[in-house]
Structure formats: C-alpha cells, structure tokens
Structure 1
C-alpha cells in the first residue's frame, strides 16, 4: 500500500511540475461521522495510542473512535472550547475554555473532569511537551503562554510573547514554537527556562494561524491568512519557502511518514505540500474537501486525515483579497470527515 501511495505521490509531483497535466486526487473521503450539537468547532487532536480523535466542539470535546466512527464520549463544561492536549502516559487530557477562562483536566479512560485550572484571557492553542511534562496554553488577548506542570496541574510560568498567539507546536526536544498572528512572526520558547530564544519575521505571511513541524528536519510550516505558507528553519529562523495555499486557513499538519505538509482551508480545499528535502518543497494539487473545513489532524501510521465541517446555510463574500467567504452553518449538522490516501 505504501509503495502504491508513493507511486501516486511521484506522479502528482510530476503533474505539479506541468501545469497542463491533471493528477488524480491524493486523498478520498472514506467516512463522514455526524457529531450534531452546536455549529461551532476548532482544534482537532488525533491520539495514536487510543486511535481516537478529540474535537473541540462549542461547549465540549467530542471524542470519536477513529477505527469505527463511533462517538466514544464527551468532555463537557467547556464554553468556548478551543485547544486540547493529551498526556498518554499519565492518562490525562487537557482542554481549555475561553469563555470560562479555565483549563479542564480529564481522564482519558472515563472522560470525567478531575480538576479545573485558571487559564489566560482568550485561551486558544494547547500542546503537551513530553520531555518536560508541561502543558502550554496560549492566550490570544493576553499575548502570553501559560505553562502548567502536567503532573500537579499547577501553574509554572506565564511567558509574555509580545504579540497575539494562535497555534503552537513542540519539537519534543526542548523548544515550543508559537505563531504570532498580529505581528507576522514566529517565536521559539525554551521549555527548560521559559525564555524566548528566537523571534523571526515571516516575510510574505500575513496573519499566521496554523503551525506544523517536521521534528526530524526541524522545519516549520506556518499557514497565513493571505493564502500563503511560510516554511521556516527551526534552528535559524531562515525562510526556506513561501508557497501558495487555499483561502481561509486555520490549521496546519505534517505527516512525517509521507513527508507531506497540509493546510486546511475554509474555502473547501486542503493544500498539500511535499517536503522533497530539507530545503526543497513542491506544491501538489489540492484536495477538495467541504466549505468550512478549516481545522485538521493527521494519523501518520495510516495517512488518514481528519477535518470537520457542517452544512452551509449562507455565505458572505470576503472583504479582503485572498480571503475565503464567511459561512453560517445549519445547527446539528457538524460532522467529522475522514480522508484516506489513494492507492
């Protein structure tokens, strides 16, 4: 199966180099899982050990068994749910609530909340850093990153970022990377000291929101509101590429097995970038998804991609160039979309 996928990938690369050629889509929809509830969603997190997808869903996390598509349960009491982080070894999950300004700690086994910890204003993206055992939760309006000790759930530090953060990723080797939307910058934080050890401008990137990392090569992929992807060296901050993506991005992901970076876009496309080498990248034909499918997660073992959307009620044309329409959605129509690589 993997050999067949790479054969298709190389064919897509050849087609990408030839504008006249038409490549078959790299991915296809294999399942649509109704989630119901409020027509609101944000981050997704795929947990490989349990094969579960955690979906930020309005006032809760909806948890889906990725093998069967069955709803495994809910983590409730999360008004303004955004970020989620998982500590598999401890059997704990962390989910923020921007309206309550709280971080809820829950059991991965029962999904019951065991503790609530104050969060920063406009709590958003979260990440668990395994080597340090810490949970990092950004506060957009607070322009800071809150650090919790995962074992004790106590606040360790609040790191001033000097800009409004959105997504963040850990290299699992001593650094957290955060994109600063209002500054068009990328910041690097030491997990040992909490100090900012790098701050880099992203030329040609307006409003970075999504962020993904290739940990092996220390390459970062920041997706931007002007329909561009900034590819950055995580050691030096050097810009490696500035590539076109779809409109209305809100999330990025990286598949370390197939060496593919993704941007999920509100315009109903999934942008696919092939990492040919540590310094060379190729734009592949986009995958058609659904309008509003702006956040995502990836399962590297199988190559499955997870996105969320809902039935569109109305669309308002964008006011800015390179922006996607603004959609309103039918309540109760939210669904998890599962895509698989084509053979």
Structure 2
C-alpha cells in the first residue's frame, strides 16, 4: 500500500456537458488518505460495494471479468473472484454474508460467499443485467436489465426466479426504500422514476423527471425521504422528495454521471462521472448544497463510501503509478 500525502489536486480545464453548458469548477473538500494497488490490467472498473463492519470492499473489474475483494482497513487485496463474464454490478449483503454480481455477458446474476469467494449459484436474467438491489423483507435480489428493459427478481438464498417486471423502457439503477418497502428504478429512456410493489411485482407509480435526460444513477436517503437521481445525458442531479413526489432540486455535475454514493451519518453525497469529475454535496435539513465539483482522476466513475470512517473510495485503471489502484479520500474543508 502506498500512502498519498498530498491533498486532492484539482485539474484545470474545461468540461462541457452534452447540453453545451460549462459546469463551474469547485475545489473538492477531499484529502488523499491512501492508495491500494489493485491486481490485473488497466481495463474498466464498474460498481463497488462495501461491507463497513468487516471493512471489505468488493469491486467489479469489468474488463477482467472478475470481482476484487479488498480489506480497506488493512489496505490489501484479499482475493479475486474470476469467471464473472463482463461483470458490472456488485452488491454485498452483510446480513446474508453474500455478494451478488451481474455477469453481463452471460445474462446472469451470481451469488458469492462473502467469506470464501466461492460461487454459490448463477441465475438467468434479462438482457444486459447491470445494477442490483436487495429487498430484505421478501428476501430477493433485483437486477436491472438495461437493454432488456426489465427487472429480474430472484430468491437471494436459492437463486430461484421470483418474477420479472417489464419497465417499458431501458432500465437504469434500482434501489430499495426501507420506509415504504417499495422498489424504485430509473427508466432511463422514458426519463422517469418507476415505483414497484415487490409483493405484486407491479408498477404503482411513474414519476416524470422534467429536466433530466437519461436518468441512470440512483441512490436514496431513506431517513430524510429523498432520492438522488443522476442524468447522464445532460449532467444533471435531481433531488426528489419521496413524500410529495416533487423534484425539489436540480444541480449540475460532471459530464456523464455514473455511480452515486451516500454517507447517511455525515449527509455527504458523492457523484462520480465517466469524465473523471466528482461532485460532492451536503444534505442539511433535506436541502442539498454542492460543496465540490472537479476532476479527481481519469476514469474515476465509481465511488463507494464508508459510513463509519467517512472515507470515500475510487477504483481507477491508472493510479498515480500508472497501474490499477484504489484511491481513498477523507472529507475535510
């Protein structure tokens, strides 16, 4: 593990959104904490998911068709889990001691033992499975089939099929709302948010998202009854009130926003973009304020945050030494 002593460097330059506007650059309130070398080649990474109690971060190395397991407390790679063709989504469910990953090229969702890395079962999905969510009440894993335009629902314990929910458009990300016990999913080619009853597997609400082009990213702040939606077509971040179902805020982020992470203890939101720009925001009294927006690193489009240490993590194909690395940052003024 190499220790990065310098603070985050803000790269000068101009970033244009698809809409042609220029996002104001705001220095990121982040300071480099450490760098962990990752194995494999410098191909694309995708989602990452953290078990904060065990300090285990699972990273989808899409280009290598493997999941990398990292002990972030010890600063070392624990193992690699191979044979996950075109892996995109990854989700650890600590209560089950399991990790779920979407083998996109095989149209499968794969269950993995968190402690051993053993593949437990593989379940068929629709076309191009991507993001994942877990419903603890029904004991199911939900997979967004992006080009298939549907949600595949499987039994988290056995991998048996529970059903399919057609969305009527391409699927973005999916999230479980523990307050209402409903599933929320982006329907990115319709620019809307769909609400699904997980008992009946029926869509109960479609919320139009004016001002959003291609809603892909999604994360919730359930206690505050808020949803944050990233629109990768026009680099916008929408805030939705989950009580009134009104859009309460629209902010500009880096070009092609992808993965979002939220620290509920600190109220910090992170939006990582394909352009390598990261946007940070603070949630105070259900109001979101942008605190930073700048280039972090090339291909830094994936982020995970630890709610206990408040460190944020970014796997990148080319770290400071030119090799794959996991970059960790601590928040600060």
TM over 0.5: yes
Give how far 1:289 is off: 1.3
Looking at structure 1, the residues matched to 186 and 27 of structure 2 have their Cα atoms a distance apart, in angstroms, of: 33
Give how far 1:25 is off: 4.1
SS in 2 for 1:152: coil
Looking at structure 2, the residues matched to 255 and 98 of structure 1 have their Cα atoms a distance apart, in angstroms, of: 28
Alpha carbons 1:62, 1:75 under 8 Å: kept: yes
> What is the aligned partner in structure 2 of residue 308 from structure 1?
315
Looking at structure 1, the residues matched to 189 and 277 of structure 2 have their Cα atoms a distance apart, in angstroms, of: 24
> What is the aligned partner in structure 1 of residue 35 from structure 2?
32
Alpha carbons 1:262, 1:272 under 8 Å: kept: yes
Q: What is the number of residues matched between the two proteins?
A: 303
Give how far 1:23 is off: 8.1
Alpha carbons 2:123, 2:154 under 8 Å: kept: no
What CA deviation, in whole Å up to 9, does each residue of 1:109-161 have, x standing for no partner?
10011211112110100111222211001101110001111122111010111
Which TM-score applies when normalising by structure 2?
A: 0.86
Give how far 1:240 is off: 0.7
SS in 1 for 2:96: coil
Which of the residues 81, 89, 108 maps onto 1:83? Answer: 89
Gaps of 5+ in 2: 1-24
Q: Does 1:271 align with 2:279?
A: yes
| Coordinate RMSD, CA, aligned | 2.0
> What is the aligned partner in structure 2 of residue 101 from structure 1?
107
Give how far 1:273 is off: 1.8
Cα distance change on mapping 1:287 and 1:50 into 2, 3 Å: farther
Matches within 5 A, 1:316-335: 333-335=323-325
Alpha carbons 1:305, 1:339 under 8 Å: kept: yes
Q: Does 1:189 align with 2:196?
A: yes
Give how far 1:24 is off: 6.7
For structure 1, which segment, 59-68 or 125-134, has the greater mean C-alpha deviation from structure 2 after superposition?
125-134
Cα distance change on mapping 1:23 and 1:147 into 2, 3 Å: closer
> What is the aligned partner in structure 2 of residue 259 from structure 1?
267
> What is the aligned partner in structure 2 of residue 338 from structure 1?
328
Gaps of 5+ in 1: 1-21, 313-329
SS in 2 for 1:206: coil
Give how far 1:234 is off: 2.1
Cα distance change on mapping 1:151 and 1:204 into 2, 3 Å: same
What CA deviation, in whole Å up to 9, does each residue of 1:154-204 have, x standing for no partner?
110101111111211112241111112211111111222211122111111
Matches within 5 A, 1:33-182: 33-38=36-41, 39-58=43-62, 59-173=65-179, 174-182=181-189
Alpha carbons 2:272, 2:279 under 8 Å: kept: yes
Looking at structure 1, the residues matched to 270 and 95 of structure 2 have their Cα atoms a distance apart, in angstroms, of: 28
Which runs of structure 1 show a deviation greater than 3 angstroms over 4 or more consecutive aligned residues? 22-25
SS in 2 for 1:89: helix
What CA deviation, in whole Å up to 9, does each residue of 1:237-278 have, x standing for no partner?
211111111112111121111112221122332111222222
Give how far 1:287 is off: 5.1
Looking at structure 1, the residues matched to 295 and 109 of structure 2 have their Cα atoms a distance apart, in angstroms, of: 35
> What is the aligned partner in structure 2 of residue 198 from structure 1?
205
What CA deviation, in whole Å up to 9, does each residue of 1:213-234 have, x standing for no partner?
1010120000112111011122
> What is the aligned partner in structure 2 of residue 324 from structure 1?
none
Alpha carbons 2:27, 2:293 under 8 Å: kept: no
